[in-house]
């Protein structure tokens, strides 16, 4: 069965998500021993910015179908996430966010992932490789007993259960204000569309939480670098974690955050963390390996 990673990259005036996806694609080729393909989904505006260098590293470049539902969103474009099932060229897929790097090979995870039709990450890690327990950004999940789903690493295969999940998620995305009002009675309702909340609520409404998640397992997971879940006193860390924690970067395979070596998929969240020097190093190694 075909396997691969997929992400959405829709550029804004503030962030070049295509460049992040480009770096991630090269990174996967360089670090993953078997499953290393990344397909990117773009809107018509971002499609116009595709260069030859992008075509070399992406497995497929897919234009987002049925119009761009995030067309008028200026910053956080997640409205098309329910379309992943319809966009993926693979039988088995892992959704990624663009702002990630993989320092080590996790290809062996796929052997476990395929045991379920859907497998969402539910435990993420701090930069010190500790399981995140702080719900600073997830009080809605706590208040409403939602499965603690992270769509920055979410596996699915094509199946009837997957189709049911994405169909329900589509409905929630299109009517999120009503669904959040009616079906999150515990309070702390998001005031904006949250993809993680939408997928978690879809699982809860369908009664398939146990079919889409696993407890007491160490994978899949990733290091999530949002500031206030790092186990550091809130007054000791800035909103932008890079202002409080130093990075010691040798290469995409060898970097430390605050003296802690990073070994898991790394969700850096602050877009400026990935600089041009890092991208150029990826390019050099990618082309050397490809030659």
Identify each DSSP E strand in 76-186 by its residue range. 92-96, 100-101, 118-121, 150-157
Mean pLDDT, residues 88-103: 98
Report pLDDT digits (tens) over 214-254: 988 999 999 999 999 999 999 999 999 999 999 999 999 99
Name which of 79, 196, 210, 205 is nearest 141 in CA terms: 196
pLDDT value, residue 77: 83
Beta bridge partners of 7: 40
- The Cα 213–Cα 211 span in angstroms is 6
- What six digits make up the tokens of 216? 């007491």
Mean pLDDT, residues 112-134: 97
Class of domain 3-290: alpha beta
Identify each DSSP E strand in 139-185 by its residue range. 150-157
Report pLDDT digits (tens) over 16-60: 999 999 999 999 999 999 999 999 999 999 999 999 999 999 999
Identify each DSSP E strand in 133-241 by its residue range. 150-157, 223-224
Torsion angle of the four alpha carbons 151, 122, 223, 42, in this order, in degrees rounded to the nearest 10:
-10
pLDDT value, residue 74: 67
Q: Model confidence at 145, in pLDDT bands (50, 70, 90)? A: very high
Residue 263, number of CB atoms within 10 A of its CB: 14
The vertex-23 CA angle with 90 and 79, nearest 5°, equals 60
Beta bridge partners of 224: 267
- Whether the per-residue pLDDT at 187 is higher than 90: the answer is no
Contact between residue 84 and residue 162 where contact means Cβ atoms under 8 Å apart: no
List the end-to-end C-alpha distance of the chain, in Å, as a whole number.
28
């Amino acid at each position: 069965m075909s396997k691969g990673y997929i992400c959405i990259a829709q550029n804004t005036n503030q962030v070049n998500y295509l460049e992040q996806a480009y770096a991630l694609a090269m990174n996967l080729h360089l670090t993953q021993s078997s499953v290393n393909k990344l397909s990117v989904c773009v809107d018509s505006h971002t499609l116009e910015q595709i260069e030859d260098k992008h075509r070399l590293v992406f497995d497929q470049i897919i234009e987002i179908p049925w119009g761009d539902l995030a067309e008028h969103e200026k910053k956080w474009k997640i409205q098309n996430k329910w379309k992943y099932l319809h966009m993926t060229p693979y039988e088995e897929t892992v959704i990624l966010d663009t702002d990630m790097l993989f320092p080590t090979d996790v290809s062996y995870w796929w052997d476990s992932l395929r045991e379920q039709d859907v497998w969402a990450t539910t435990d993420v890690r701090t930069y010190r490789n500790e399981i995140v327990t702080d719900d600073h950004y997830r009080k809605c999940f706590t208040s409403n007993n939602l499965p603690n789903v992270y769509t920055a690493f979410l596996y699915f295969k094509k199946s009837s259960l997957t189709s049911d999940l994405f169909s329900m998620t589509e409905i929630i995305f299109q009517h999120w204000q009503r669904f959040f009002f009616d079906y999150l009675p515990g309070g702390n309702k998001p005031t904006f569309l949250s993809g993680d909340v939408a997928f978690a609520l879809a699982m809860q409404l369908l009664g398939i939480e146990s079919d889409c998640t696993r407890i007491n397992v160490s994978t899949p997971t990733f290091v999530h670098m949002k500031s206030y879940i790092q186990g550091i006193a809130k007054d000791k860390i800035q909103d932008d974690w890079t202002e409080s924690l130093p990075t010691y970067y040798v290469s995409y395979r060898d970097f430390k955050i605050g003296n802690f070596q990073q070994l898991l998929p790394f969700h850096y969240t602050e877009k400026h963390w990935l600089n041009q020097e890092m991208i150029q190093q990826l390019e050099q190694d990618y082309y050397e390996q490809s030659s």
